[in-house]
Structure 1
Amino acid sequence: MSRKKIRMIIVLATLSLAGLLGVQLTWLQKAYSLEEKEFNLAVNVALQHISQKILADSGLTAATPPVQQLSSSFFLAQVNAPIEAKELDTLLKKEFSKRRLEVNYEYGILNASDDTLVFGNYVPATHPKKEADNAPESSAENGMVTGKKAAGRYNFAVVFPGKTTYIFSEMTLWLYSTLALLVVVIFFAYTLLSILKEKKLSEMKENFINNMTHELQTPITNIAIASEMLRTQGNSLPPHKTERYHQIIYQENERLKAQVERVLQMAVLEKKELALRKTSTNVHQVIQDTMQSLHLRLQKRAGQVHFNLQAENAEILADSLHLTNVVYNLLDNAEKYSPQAPEIEVSTRNHQNGILISIADKGLGISKEVQQYVFDKFYRVPTGNLHNVKGFGLGLSYVKTIMEAHQGTIQLNSRENQGSRFELYFPFAS
């Protein structure tokens, strides 16, 4: 599927889910608002009935409805009449139970003249029936007695501290449907990221196959041409040309072996079959030996290598073959990604009970946007108009895997057109 079609599908699916989620949240908000109105209405009716009962028992009447909702969860009944705490407690439980308002609440009796609290009590959402028959044990302040009606005039207030939780508990179906939709959205996002990741991996694999085909075809073609010349004209060729064709066959065969070995190494790593053969290895010796392999290439390009090997203890426990491959990969990249005469600096120093190896160049560098991908398998750093950089995109992935197998780390510091510096840290064996 083309990138354009994938992008279109992603955009349409995202817009559809975003619209669906928006509609769901809108309906959830409306459902909450309706539940809240229903709750407020039930409380108002219950408190109105209680107020009328208190006024009727006292032989009083109210010119206006005594119940006011002063905030979302605070209700005040201005009855301005004698109130017995036990009777109020019983009436509240009865009226709330009748309307199935199974919610925690606090009520208080206030002095009508100055709104001071003379009695208060907390009632949980679930309580035994016998509690309705038990009078509150605490006695009121300012002369308020809970066992009989006081001569003074009082109001009462009710507060619902768990109102929001109660309303949400009444919206179970809406909450489950919203949660289910959120799960769908999360699953969609996960699927989307997986598709994009697989698409990217597919593209990198395709580039890898194209690069591998080219990299393997070139030495095979050169070997075939040199072999054909030796087969058909071997007896008539001058000795120096015969030697030259032999050298071509040998060099191209070594190049072919190296390419195949690199692919096989990654296949082993992917299967988690890497078995390190750790021995005492001198890092400085490995660096010197590896440089011999690159000496001719650097010499042809007038390249320079500056050594600053300051590590006093250069012996580590490592797999010398893989360590050599790690150093070679980094030096090889430093040479390949230097468009002019390569200038490479190799340094070592002891650091935090280990050894730090630094390999720096003054080549193309790597932009910050792609630095997070350079250690991914098959990824190759874009080189713009520079098309002579060969490779499979396996080198740095291999390097990172080997470093992790040695309990080491690798860090990259690079700026575009200003070169790159790779730092390898190998801990000493404890």
Structure 2
Amino acid sequence: MKKQVLIVIIILVSLAMATLIGIQVFWIRNSIQLREANFRRSVDEAVNNALTKLEKIEIARRINSSDSIQHFLQKQDTRSREYERPVIPDTGIQMIKSETEAIPSLPGTTTMQNDTQGRLSGDLDEKKLAEVEHNLKKPEIEALRRQNMMMNRMMNQLLGSEVEKDIEKRITSGLIDTLIREEFIIKGITLAYEFGVFNPGRNKIVLEKTGQYHNELLQKGYSFPLMPVSGISTTDFLLVYFPEKSKHAFLSLYGMLFVSLALVIIIISAFTYSVLTIVKQRKLSELKNDFINNMTHEFKTPISTVSLACQALTDKDFPRSNELYDNYIQIIEDENRRLGVMAEKILQTAILEKGKLALRLETIDVHHLIQDVIKNIAIQVEIRDGSINTAFQARESYVKADKMHLSNVIYNLLDNANKYSPRKPQIQVMTQDGEGGIFILFRDNGIGISKVNQKKIFEKLYRVPTGDVHNVKGFGLGLSYVKFVVEKHGGNISVESEVGKGSTFKVFLPFNPS
């Protein structure tokens, strides 16, 4: 996949994902606002119902405390029936005969009879009132006028009495609490609440439920005017506050929030994983192409050399001498060994790709194994006027390991130390005692490795840039294979290096791999 195409795909998917997240946020926000509106409407209805009941209780209390109203009501109670009167033409007023019925009252209060509208139904404007007076007899008119005047005085006394008394002297917080709680239960509101009565004239809350949320009531409380229907003069407001409303709103949307968040996280994770996989595969593809090119070049040289040697040996005109014959045989043998090493490298690649390695563990003397490997590679170092020195300081050198793979590990590290030393390689191999195992150190005077490359040298097919050293050949498999084998043995490998000052690879092998 081309880099430009990959960038376009990433941008498009990112925009789609951002849009999806935006839609999720929009719907969640709308849902929260809708729930808030429904909650506020339920609270308004419940509190208004409670205040209506409170007004009725207040009116009944005032009626009960007024002597003149008591006298009027008692007088009305003695009248059990009234005579039937005809309908007054074109007035909408009907004089009806009915038995008075008492309105149920609170305990301890006087019954107020609801017969006024039974006597007069309709609107009384001046014209109709004149017609009423014309059709009624004078005693009846006088009786109606006296009754009307008495009702006016009674209502004036009812609505105007005790206005001078403060609200906290007329109503208790317990009564308000009881009425509000009953209405909240009816509306299904189970949240804990706090209320207070605020008087703007005195600029303070004069009545509270607990007194623990004074500031919250003033700042966040729902406000309701007291006695708004009856006409009783008041300037007090009921404030209601829900301390756990935010928590309740979150919990009510917890399921939707959790699902939305989970979906967003899954989508982002899947997208990130896909992008990283594509980038990794693209990088791996480039590395494999480089590997194939290097492998082709590496195989081409020894094959050509062997082919030329074979042609020389089969040429009839070629001089027959034992010395020359042995020389060409040695060339064929060396190139054949070289091909075998490269074939082994390719097999190592297959092992790394599968991620599986069957170890044939046996007890091995690490010191002896190092000496054997040094013998095999020493000639390559000596050709460059280099040397390999050993310093075996470990007192315990026997470990359980796979001899073949451990030999390859040592060989790869020594081969790298030789190849990446620009001149006269000076390689030192040391062993040290470790806790539960042995340390093997490989130190060289090579070109060194930068901090950036130190993080990548153990990746498959990665090759460290060699700067001015152009004769370094390889597939980029050695160190990834080394790390894989060492970790399979339960050990670890690390590197310390500085550009231009050489490198030190430190391998730890446990005595008994787990």
For Structure 1 versus Structure 2, the TM-score category normalised by the shorter chain is: 0.7 to 0.9
Deviations 1:48-80 (A, max 9, x none): 44344334422499xxxxxxxxxxxxxxxx975
Offset of residue 402 of structure 1: 1.4
Q: Distance in 2 between matches of 1:41 and 1:417?
A: 78
Offset of residue 227 of structure 1: 0.9
Corresponding residue for residue 4 of structure 2: 4
Corresponding residue for residue 107 of structure 1: 194
Equivalent residue in structure 1 for 2:267, among 184, 188, 193: 184
> Sequence identity of aligned pairs in percent?
35
Q: Distance in 1 between matches of 2:184 and 2:248?
A: 21
Offset of residue 194 of structure 1: 1.6
Q: Could you list the runs of 5+ residues in structure 2 that have no partner in the other structure? A: 63-157, 159-165, 213-235
Q: Distance in 2 between matches of 1:29 and 1:219?
A: 72
The 1:173–1:271 alpha-carbon spacing in structure 2 relative to 1, beyond 3 Å, is closer
The 1:392–1:88 alpha-carbon spacing in structure 2 relative to 1, beyond 3 Å, is same
Q: Distance in 2 between matches of 1:48 and 1:323?
A: 87
Q: Distance in 2 between matches of 1:38 and 1:397?
A: 64
Q: What are the within-5 Å matches in structure 2 for residues 210-229 of structure 1?
A: 210-229=293-312
Confirm or deny that 1:85 pairs with 2:185: no
Q: Distance in 2 between matches of 1:329 and 1:250?
A: 21
The 1:54–1:366 alpha-carbon spacing in structure 2 relative to 1, beyond 3 Å, is farther
Offset of residue 381 of structure 1: 2.4
SS at match of 2:193: strand
Offset of residue 93 of structure 1: 4.5
Q: Distance in 2 between matches of 1:52 and 1:387?
A: 97
Q: Distance in 1 between matches of 2:294 and 2:33?
A: 63
Equivalent residue in structure 1 for 2:476, among 384, 389, 393: 393
Q: Distance in 1 between matches of 2:470 and 2:22?
A: 49
Deviations 1:134-188 (A, max 9, x none): xxxxxxxxxxxxxxxxxxx996744241434425635866775565344323221
Corresponding residue for residue 352 of structure 1: 435
Confirm or deny that 1:159 pairs with 2:242: yes
Q: Distance in 2 between matches of 1:247 and 1:403?
A: 35
- The code of the aligned residue for 1:43 comes to V
Corresponding residue for residue 94 of structure 1: 183
Q: Distance in 1 between matches of 2:186 and 2:459?
A: 65
> Is the Cα–Cα contact under 8 Å of residues 32 and 249 in structure 2 kept in the other structure?
no
Corresponding residue for residue 276 of structure 2: 193
Equivalent residue in structure 1 for 2:363, among 263, 276, 280: 280
Q: Distance in 2 between matches of 1:32 and 1:90?
A: 29
Equivalent residue in structure 1 for 2:344, among 240, 256, 261: 261
> Is the Cα–Cα contact under 8 Å of residues 438 and 509 in structure 2 kept in the other structure?
yes
Offset of residue 86 of structure 1: 6.6
Deviations 1:306-336 (A, max 9, x none): 4222111112122222111111111111111
- The code of the aligned residue for 1:85 comes to G
Q: Which moved more, 1:186-195 or 1:268-277?
A: 268-277
- The code of the aligned residue for 1:345 comes to Q
Corresponding residue for residue 293 of structure 1: 376
Q: Distance in 2 between matches of 1:364 and 1:280?
A: 36
Deviations 1:274-321 (A, max 9, x none): 332222211111222211222122112222334222111112122222
SS at match of 1:369: helix
Corresponding residue for residue 58 of structure 1: 58
The 1:48–1:371 alpha-carbon spacing in structure 2 relative to 1, beyond 3 Å, is farther
Equivalent residue in structure 1 for 2:399, among 301, 316, 333: 316
Offset of residue 239 of structure 1: 4.0
Offset of residue 22 of structure 1: 3.9
> Is the Cα–Cα contact under 8 Å of residues 388 and 426 in structure 2 kept in the other structure?
yes
Deviations 1:105-161 (A, max 9, x none): 23367898876866599xxxxxxxxxxxxxxxxxxxxxxxxxxxxxxx996744241
Confirm or deny that 1:18 pairs with 2:18: yes
Q: How many pairs are equivalent?
A: 382
Deviations 1:319-364 (A, max 9, x none): 2221111111111111112223322222111011211111122323
The 1:367–1:4 alpha-carbon spacing in structure 2 relative to 1, beyond 3 Å, is farther
Q: Distance in 2 between matches of 1:382 and 1:15?
A: 38
> Is the Cα–Cα contact under 8 Å of residues 35 and 167 in structure 1 kept in the other structure?
no
Q: Which moved more, 1:241-250 or 1:31-40?
A: 31-40
> Is the Cα–Cα contact under 8 Å of residues 192 and 243 in structure 2 kept in the other structure?
yes
- The code of the aligned residue for 2:50 comes to I
The 1:282–1:167 alpha-carbon spacing in structure 2 relative to 1, beyond 3 Å, is closer
The 1:304–1:19 alpha-carbon spacing in structure 2 relative to 1, beyond 3 Å, is farther
Q: Distance in 2 between matches of 1:283 and 1:83?
A: 93
> Is the Cα–Cα contact under 8 Å of residues 55 and 79 in structure 1 kept in the other structure?
no
The 1:115–1:240 alpha-carbon spacing in structure 2 relative to 1, beyond 3 Å, is farther
Q: Distance in 1 between matches of 2:182 and 2:308?
A: 102
Q: Distance in 2 between matches of 1:405 and 1:273?
A: 9
Q: Could you list the runs of 5+ residues in structure 1 that have no partner in the other structure? A: 62-77, 122-152
Corresponding residue for residue 332 of structure 2: 249
Would you tell me which structure has more strand in proportion to its own residues? 1
- The code of the aligned residue for 1:92 comes to R
Corresponding residue for residue 208 of structure 1: 291
- The code of the aligned residue for 2:172 comes to I
The 1:258–1:170 alpha-carbon spacing in structure 2 relative to 1, beyond 3 Å, is closer
The 1:354–1:177 alpha-carbon spacing in structure 2 relative to 1, beyond 3 Å, is closer
Answer 1 or 2: higher relative contact order, Cα 8 Å, separation at least 6.
1
Offset of residue 31 of structure 1: 4.7
Q: Which moved more, 1:9-18 or 1:264-273?
A: 264-273
The 1:12–1:155 alpha-carbon spacing in structure 2 relative to 1, beyond 3 Å, is closer
> Is the Cα–Cα contact under 8 Å of residues 36 and 167 in structure 1 kept in the other structure?
no
- The code of the aligned residue for 1:107 comes to E
